């Protein structure tokens, strides 16, 4: 008979048997030596949604790490700022039409918090400079203004953190020369340290004369690359005598 050792697993060892709770019984079974379960259409669509969202959000990492507050769930699981931004993007800004998944940039949020006091924002690009003005004001304790710009023609992303004390009601930012005449998506958000230092990001569209490419904002199901790693999973030839059994519990987990 195996000796059951209670524990709270963090990572699963694929060489161990699978255990699950059925009523009041803990049941154990071996892992399959081969897996032949092709993904369903819903699984493929969800995988594509995650792929598009991850590819889009990655260049904005420095922005969202300040724009979203890390949280701790009831089971003490830490959820970082980037994971929260990715979850918000998947829930609100990713759209699917048939087998096409795309990003709606007007619904993208890179910072979440109090109402943004910058109010109406106007932006333009000329002579290699991005000029931005706003009708509102910055918060009294504001130390930084987070800026992110997306070039719709090339897919390039520019992220900057500007000192708020030097801005007033606007700023001019150097951009690559090939950005002149390009259509841009611009996000702005003030920031300062503390629990109340985050504000909702404002999104602005800068019209351009260059054609706006959309390839980096969308993808098709046919673009998914099949998994070539093989379907077999190696397992131990014999069950170990000492088997780790999960410590099933109810209620909030207490820190040790």
pLDDT tens, residue by residue, 91-140? 999 999 888 899 999 999 999 999 999 999 999 998 899 999 999 999 99
The reply to whether the predicted model has a pTM over 0.85 is: no
The superfamily (CATH) of domain 41-223 is Immunoglobulins (2.60.40.10)
Q: What is the mean pLDDT of residues 20-47?
A: 78
| pLDDT of the residue at 113 | 95
Residues in contact with 17: Cβ distance below 8 Å, sequence separation at least 6, in sequence order = 28, 29, 30, 31, 239, 243
Q: How far is CA 253 from CA 9, 76, 247, 250, in A?
A: 13, 8, 11, 8
| pLDDT of the residue at 219 | 84
Residue boundaries of the structural domains of the chain: 1-36+231-256, 41-223
Beta strands in 34-120 (DSSP E): 71-72, 78-79, 94-97, 100-103
- Condensed to tens digits (0 to 9), the pLDDT of residues 17-26 reads 777 788 888 8
Greater confidence (252 vs 213) lies with: 213
Residue-averaged pLDDT of the chain: 82
Q: What is the mean pLDDT of residues 215-226?
A: 73
């Amino acid at each position: 008979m195996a000796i059951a050792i209670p524990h709270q697993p963090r990572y699963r060892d694929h060489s161990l048997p699978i255990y699950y709770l059925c009523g009041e019984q803990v049941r154990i079974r071996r892992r399959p030596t081969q897996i032949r379960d092709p993904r369903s259409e819903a699984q493929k669509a969800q995988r594509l949604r995650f792929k598009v969202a991850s590819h889009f959000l990655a260049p904005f990492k420095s922005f969202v790490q300040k724009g979203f507050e890390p949280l701790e769930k009831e089971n003490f699981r830490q959820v970082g700022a980037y994971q929260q931004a990715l979850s918000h993007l998947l829930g609100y800004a990713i759209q699917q039409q048939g087998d096409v998944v795309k990003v709606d940039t007007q619904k993208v949020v890179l910072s979440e918090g109090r109402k943004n006091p910058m109010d109406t924002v106007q932006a333009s690009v000329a002579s290699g400079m991005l000029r931005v003005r706003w009708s509102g004001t910055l918060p009294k304790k504001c130390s930084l203004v987070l800026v992110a710009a997306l070039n719709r023609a090339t897919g390039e992303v520019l992220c900057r953190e500007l000192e708020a004390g030097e801005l007033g009601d606007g700023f001019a930012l150097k951009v690559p020369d090939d950005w002149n005449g390009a259509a841009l998506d611009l996000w702005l958000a003030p920031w300062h340290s503390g629990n109340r230092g985050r504000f909702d990001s404002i999104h602005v569209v800068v019209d351009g004369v260059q054609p706006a490419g959309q390839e980096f904002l969308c993808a098709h199901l046919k673009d998914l690359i099949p998994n070539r790693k093989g379907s077999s999973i190696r397992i131990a030839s014999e069950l170990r005598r000492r088997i780790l059994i999960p410590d099933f519990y109810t209620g909030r987990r207490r820190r040790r």
